[in-house]
Amino acid sequence: MAKLYFRYGSVGSAKTLNLLAVAHNYRQQHKKVLLIKPALDDRFGKNNIRSRAGLEQEADILVDERSDLLKLDFKGIHCLLVDEVQFIPALVIEQLREITHKKKIPVICYGLRTDFKTRLFEGSARLMELADSIEEVKSTCHFCTRKAIMNLKHSNGKAVIDGPTVDVGAEEKYFPACYSCYFQQVTLHAAPSQKLDDTFAPA
């Protein structure tokens, strides 16, 4: 059976660059891939999938809560590659799972595991439950040399942990951070009502 993959990492961990490299490798072997992205991610244009390194390609399919991928004809397709999967509804994640089972097409998803409030995104949570393979794309903390596991949001130069969970942005707004630096930044800059509970402080 074809597998469902979830490759997650913090912001700036070259997830999209990895996706585009995988697409290139398939095409070098004369195999067909389809690129999928959430419709709400319009940072670089409605249809563009773009890495921070500047490489980009056009998405073949845009999805939202109304999408039904099971109605599409995937004949001749060798792989589906999904960018920013954290923004994809759980119902569509379940459709991707079904595609691997019924149509025998591998699906490789790239995205964030958690939001800037440290909570799982809907799409990521469902993938953690359904994926055959869960792999971490590693990167380094913006503030030190430890591994980044958190996504720190800044507003007007200060760390924040309030506001809507889905708030699309890039390097001007989000920074990869280890937990110690995440906690320190939030403690220094966030408003008193936003402070993290001391029980979550790193040792």
Query: What positions carry a catalytic annotation?
Result: 84
Beta bridge partners of 8: 111, 136
Nearest Cα residue to 84 out of 11, 165, 24: 11
Helix ranges restricted to H, the chain: 15-28, 90-102, 122-130, 179-189
Output the six-digit token pair for 164.
């809507």
Describe the chain by its helix, strand, coil percentages, rounded to 5.
Answer: 30, 25, 45
Nearest Cα residue to 184 out of 155, 143, 148: 143
The 3-state DSSP class for residue 163 equals coil
Longest CA span, the chain: 56
